[in-house]
Every structure is written in structure tokens, then in C-alpha cells.
Amino acid sequence: MKKTFVALAATLVSTWALAHNCPNEMKAIDAKLPSVQLSAEAMGKVKDLRAKGEQLHKEGKHTESMAALAEAKKLLGM
């Protein structure tokens, strides 16, 4: 019983942490955008991925949101 409770608590904490990290990732991307030199195509992709990450976050799909935001950060060289 104790092991089950610990596993459940760990899952809830990690989900909560991801849910609340999406906004920090979006802020980091927003801060980097003005100083980076990318092609128009690459910049468009970054902005699309950032918007997708925000939408997924709002829908409660935090794992998918973090994946989209990570791809945007990769394109930004972060």
C-alpha cells in the first residue's frame, strides 16, 4: 500500500511540475526570439511550435506541449 501511494504521489508531482513549466519554456522562447537570426521559414516554424505549445498547455496536454516547445528551443539553438 505504501509503495502504491508513493508511486501515485510521484506521478502527480511530476505531472504538476510539467504543467507549470510550460509557461517558463514559453517565456524563454519569447526572450530569445528578438536576438536570434533565422531564415523566415525557420522563424515561422519556431513561432508555430511556440503557439502549438501554448495551445496544448491550455488543453492540459502538458507532455505534448513540452515536446513542441523543446523543438522550438532546438531550432533557436537553446
At 4-27, the pLDDT tens digits run 555 544 554 555 554 569 999 999
Q: How many structural domains does the chain have?
A: 1
pLDDT in tens, 35-68: 999 999 999 999 999 999 999 999 999 999 999 9
Q: In Å, how far from its chain's centre is CA 72?
A: 9
Q: Is 60 left (phi over 0), alpha (psi -120 to 50) or beta?
A: left
Determine the Cα–Cα distance for residues 40 and 17; give it in Å rounded to an integer: 33
pTM for this prediction = 0.74
Containing structural domain, residue 60: 2-75
Q: How far apart are CA 53 and CA 56, in angstroms?
A: 5
